[in-house]
Structure 1
Amino acid sequence: MSNVTASSSSVRTSPLRSGFWLVVLGAALWGVDPLFRIILLKSLTSSQIVLLEHVVLFLAAAPVLWRNRADLKGIRMRHAAALLVVSWGGSAVATILFTKALATGDLNAVLLLQKLQPIFAIGLAAILLKERLPKNFGVLIAVALAGTYLLTFGWTVPFGHVNNFISIGSVMALGAAALWGGSTVMGRYLLGSMKYETVTSLRFILALPLLFVVTAMEGAPWQLGGGWGETTAVAVNLLLQALLPGLLSMLLYYKGLNTTKASFATLAELSFPMTGIIINWIVYQQLVTLPQLAGFALIWTALFFISNQQSRETAKL
């Protein structure tokens, strides 16, 4: 009997642990985005890039959604509301708020407030999903956030005066963090009633109408007349951006989220800033500093213990 129990426990634990690390990998791929976006920004605005990216993603996601169309029969009003939070809130509005915050507020204060996303996600997961945090989870949250702080700011204080910290930009940064945290929680909720491929497809497809409106309201001219070579470069980079940090990352993310608590997943997303540091080091020859190395160590330590905690907690059920 004991052998059977041990075997059953290991079978249940393995996909849970792998699910957590799929979220880590999916979020890490978001850090590749700047490699393609820098080239695209020479010809297009941010909203135009996001719109075209979602057009490519629509073409890839529509056949998947059609194959899984049976999932749509069970959608209720609460599911529709969750989908709007994930697609409009997480994909469109949060990005717009964060971009405007960077333009109108103190850069360091905005970046610091954006790091509060896990707090929003954990709070919403406790309220909406009734997730209970394991023992010592608060310590791991503090360790992970401290590591993220060191990655971003090093040993320095991120703002010089309280007036820089309290501004309209700070409010928008908090709004973006809340929407991204809510998107994680709502994505986990949706995975209880539909496949992760369906959630991924709907995230991209439902965001498209809003992005058309935002781009039209912006009124910026489309500048793609730089010759065949430039048009080809834009098209290739757009395709790679849509498929790598776009489609592939979200498929991995939602597949992992399927067996991962939202409160755990939001900390797994901290792999994103680590990828950005690695990209800057490899591609742009920016040296990794001692504080950043300390931040790496703290985040990976927190991720390791969080992964083990979720596996042990679920194995007890």
Structure 2
Amino acid sequence: MQTINQAVTYRPARIKSGFWLVVLGAALWGVDPLFRKLLLDYLTSSQIVLLEHILLFLFAAPVLWVHRSELRGLKWQHVGALLFLSWGGSALATLLFTEALASGNANAVVLLQKLQPLFAIILARVILRESLPKHFSFLFPIALIGTYLLTFGWNIPFGHVNEFIQIGSLLSLGAAALWGGSTVMGRLMLGKMEYGTVTSLRFILALPLLFVITAFEGSAWHFPSEGGPIAAIVINIIFQAALPGLLSLLLYYKGLSNTKASIATLAELSFPMVGVIINWAVFQEVVTLAQCLGFILIWTTLFMISRQNQTQ
């Protein structure tokens, strides 16, 4: 009886920590543009993503070797999920987002990423048969309003439709769909493998596709002749691969292992909060009242879902 009581006592804390690991992992994605924008001055989108995945391969290969026994008994649905995660969520989505930053309206690119929960929730219901969180129809619009305020403030950006119907916006929308679907596919695979194995396969399986895309693109590799810019490029690639790449996904999949995909996808809305902090700390942009309100709305939603998640 004591053992059962202990399990009941500690189960909520475990679920709560999983939810907040998803929040932290997603928040690390918010630092990605800091590194990616500098690299776009010297390299193409496919070259950046390829170099990033080569570094991630060096981290991932030893992990996969240790856990290679988990590859036994994979079914076709698991192979399909892994290919979606690696080719779609890791390779193509990152390419689309990088290219969107280079060619699209930055506000539109950020806003369209908030459509990720819609894609994830639809797929979670269809593939995983997950039920929606309690009061979801009320909490979800609040979170979206918060992300809108963080992105645009009190402004109404839809006066110029052509700013949204352009290549950058379409690329960003494609990235949102792929990343939203990856949330569901990752949750599916975590019923079969450890989170470290899923993360490793996500990076490793993406490499062949990225080599083909980069070769087909045929762009020359333009590295600066001065030592300073070269060092900056190397440092940016390393940090980009380590923080928003490897560490974020390890935290994310660890938390996702005991968090429903429909709940995890709302936890990913921690990304805009990080964006506001970076804009203030790095680019000296003043945080407006609208952004503060958006921050409060998002984190109120996250807190309510976290509390709700403890009782499941």
Tell me, yes or no, if structure 1 residue 49 matches structure 2 residue 13: no
Query: Which residue does 1:24 correspond to in 2?
Result: 23
Q: CA deviation at 1:158?
A: 2.0
Measure the CA separation in 1 of the matches of 2:97 and 2:247.
23
Query: Which residue does 2:235 correspond to in 1?
Result: 236
Opposite residue 150 of structure 1, the aligned amino acid is L
* Structure 2 gap segments, 5+ residues each: none
Q: Deviations over 1:283-307 (max 9, x none)?
A: 1111111111001000000000111
Q: 1:267-306 to 2 correspondence within 5 Å?
A: 267-306=266-305
Q: CA deviation at 1:94?
A: 2.3
Query: Which residue does 1:70 correspond to in 2?
Result: 69
* RMSD after superposition: 2.2
* Alignment CA distance shift 1:300-1:127 (3 Å): same
CA contact (8 A) 1:121 1:181 kept: yes
Tell me, yes or no, if structure 1 residue 59 matches structure 2 residue 55: no
Q: Secondary structure at the match of 2:123?
A: helix
Q: CA deviation at 1:93?
A: 1.9
* Alignment CA distance shift 1:197-1:123 (3 Å): same
Q: CA deviation at 1:15?
A: 1.0
Q: CA deviation at 1:6?
A: 5.1
Opposite residue 61 of structure 1, the aligned amino acid is A
Q: Deviations over 1:2-37 (max 9, x none)?
A: x77654322111111000000100111111122222
Measure the CA separation in 2 of the matches of 1:54 and 1:298.
35
Q: Secondary structure at the match of 1:64?
A: helix
Measure the CA separation in 1 of the matches of 2:232 and 2:106.
31
Opposite residue 78 of structure 1, the aligned amino acid is Q
CA contact (8 A) 2:146 2:298 kept: yes
Q: CA deviation at 1:70?
A: 0.7
Q: 1:145-164 to 2 correspondence within 5 Å?
A: 145-162=144-161
* Alignment CA distance shift 1:133-1:177 (3 Å): same
Query: Which residue does 2:33 correspond to in 1?
Result: 34
Measure the CA separation in 2 of the matches of 1:182 and 1:258.
16
Measure the CA separation in 2 of the matches of 1:106 and 1:241.
22
Q: Deviations over 1:250-295 (max 9, x none)?
A: 1001000011100011111111121111011111111111111001
Opposite residue 232 of structure 1, the aligned amino acid is A
CA contact (8 A) 2:18 2:254 kept: yes
Query: Which residue does 1:143 correspond to in 2?
Result: 142
Count how many residue pairs are aligned between Structure 1 and Structure 2.
312
Comparing 92-101 with 214-223, greater Cα deviation is found at 92-101
Q: 1:91-106 to 2 correspondence within 5 Å?
A: 91-99=90-98
Q: Deviations over 1:123-158 (max 9, x none)?
A: 111111111113212211111111111111111112
CA contact (8 A) 2:45 2:95 kept: no
Measure the CA separation in 2 of the matches of 1:20 and 1:298.
18
Q: TM-score, normalised by structure 2?
A: 0.92
CA contact (8 A) 1:115 1:145 kept: yes
Query: Which residue does 2:80 correspond to in 1?
Result: 81
CA contact (8 A) 1:281 1:287 kept: yes
Measure the CA separation in 2 of the matches of 1:182 and 1:192.
16
Measure the CA separation in 2 of the matches of 1:169 and 1:35.
18
Q: 1:256-275 to 2 correspondence within 5 Å?
A: 256-275=255-274
Q: Deviations over 1:171-228 (max 9, x none)?
A: 5443332211110000000000000000000111111111112222222211224233
* Alignment CA distance shift 1:103-1:233 (3 Å): closer
Q: CA deviation at 1:164?
A: 5.4
Q: CA deviation at 1:167?
A: 6.0
Q: Secondary structure at the match of 2:8?
A: helix
Q: Secondary structure at the match of 2:158?
A: coil
